[in-house]
Amino acid sequence: MRDAAGRILPGVVVRFSSVPIVRAGGTTVPSVLVGDVSAAGASTFFADTTSADGVALARIVMGRAAGAGAVSIEVPEAGLQDTARYTITPGGAAKIVLPVVDTTIQVGRTMPLSGRVEDRYGNVRADTIIYEVAGTGLTITGGQVSAGAPARAAVVGRVDRSSLAPDTTWVSVVPAAMIAARRGDKLVTAALDGTGLIGIPHIHEAGDYGPEWHPNGQSLLAVLGDAFGSLYSVELGGATQQVIAPTMSSAGGRSVPGVIRGFIYSPDAQWVYLSGNSCNYTAILYRLPVANPPAIERLSPTGADECFELVNHWPSLSPDGARLAFENQTWNQSGYSIRVMTIATRAVTQLVAGGQRPRWSPTGDLIAYWADKQIWVVRPDGTGARVVSPPGRAYVPGAQWSPDGQWILARFEPRREWAGTTVALLNVSTGLEIPLPWTTGYGAITLPVWRPVP
């Protein structure tokens, strides 16, 4: 160390301080560490006293972050300061990282893969990643993945002639479509790939049942309010109009329709079909004309013990409006079956023993339902029952159709003993399952309904 006149400065304190590197997101890390040349330790600060020759020594250890490193050197007694600068390069290759584990894109769109190679401290190296498709249906061009049709496959990233373990991104490719669902206490709409998700600004809280689309695709039916909410028509802009309010019964009495459960429009939008709970376990089917809701009609047959043994849930109409599929229980949450009612005569036949949550296909040729943790379809005459969900997957009750009758939306449990679910697309003809990873989670969204194409 020398002063401004060039004289040696013996016996003065020299301070060595690490200059931090600012990482993405604003966090800082030490660029280098400094310490005693005769000791093993190092930190962000070290001080030494100059020798008779004006020499002060510090050991410099490169930090864990690649980038521009520096040590600030100060002699406070002489008012001197300077900076020693270093370029810190990444260490040896330690792992391949594809940052997206599982994602969803729309048919015809592309997604950059953004893979990278990191050293053991997460610094990005310049190695080239080679991408390969594991499965079918995906195309990789210039580091981007796309598909021309719905698909489910994986992209594997590796480095040529390297022993590094490859990494994988799963990709679900879905049709262009809008869906509606409940998220928390709000109704939401989104594209099937999860983009454009917005909450509908309705005032009242959304209840557990619904939503269902109006056949014209411009509004929704939903229960809004408290635990005994009313049935509302909800515009996508947030405006609401009450369709019918729940009614409560006194002890031993009856009310129409009671607490509103499952509901659906008729294909011509002239009727709303619903299930109402007015006494203990009971669930009675009704229909009401949209133009005059008070003129509600009962559809369920009478029973000897309607408080406990008449449980008709989840009405679903045939596309011609002539028949009604519904879930029947002989007791609360037991004795399940799928039944079909002819609306004109009120005649009821059993279609499937043990089935739950029926949903008639828009094309009229199949009815989807849940049984034994799987999604099934059956013809309206009760023949041809078959599973469309993959084996080993635990699905939960509920199914919704695409307008063309080619796909079913349903939910499965991605992990055992976990309350969360994932929505998946099931191809009715091929059995292809396309999970929608953006829907995974406890209470993320309810089973979506596919917007109809008028």
Domain boundaries defined on the chain: 13-88, 95-173, 178-450
pLDDT of residue 371: 97
Read off the pLDDT of residues 201-232 as tens digits, 9 standing for 90 and up.
999 999 888 899 999 999 999 999 876 789 99
pLDDT in tens, 306-319: 788 889 999 999 99
pTM: 0.88
Predicted confidence band of residue 5 (pLDDT cuts 50, 70, 90): confident
- CB-CB contact of 399 with 409 (8 Å): yes
Q: What does CATH list as the number for 95-173?
A: 2.60.40.1080
Strand partners, 274: 263, 286
CA distance 99 to 52: 55
Residue 254 pLDDT grade (very low, low, confident, very high; cuts 50, 70, 90): low
Instruction: Please determine, for residue 375, whether its predicted confidence score (pLDDT) is greater than 60.
Output: yes
Residue 124 has pLDDT above 90, yes or no: yes
Tell me how far apart the alpha carbons of residues 31 and 18 are, in angstroms, rounded to a whole number: 6
Q: pLDDT per residue over 158-205, tens digit each?
A: 999 999 999 999 999 999 999 999 999 999 999 999 999 999 999 999
Give the residue-averaged pLDDT of 109-120. Answer: 96
The arrangement of strands across the sheet holding 386-387 comes to 356-360, 367-371, 374-378, 386-387
| C-alpha span between 15 and 429 (Å, rounded) | 74
Mean pLDDT of all residues in 48-71: 95
Q: What is the mean pLDDT of residues 366-378?
A: 98
Distance CA 131, CA 117 (A): 13
Residue 454 pLDDT: 63
Q: In CATH, what number does 178-450 get?
A: 2.120.10.30
| pLDDT > 70 in the chain, percent | 98
- Per-residue pLDDT tens digits for 405-426: 999 999 999 988 777 899 999 9
Distances in Å between the Cα of 133 and the Cα atoms of 118, 146, 151, 218, 324 are 22, 11, 12, 39, 45
SS3 248: coil
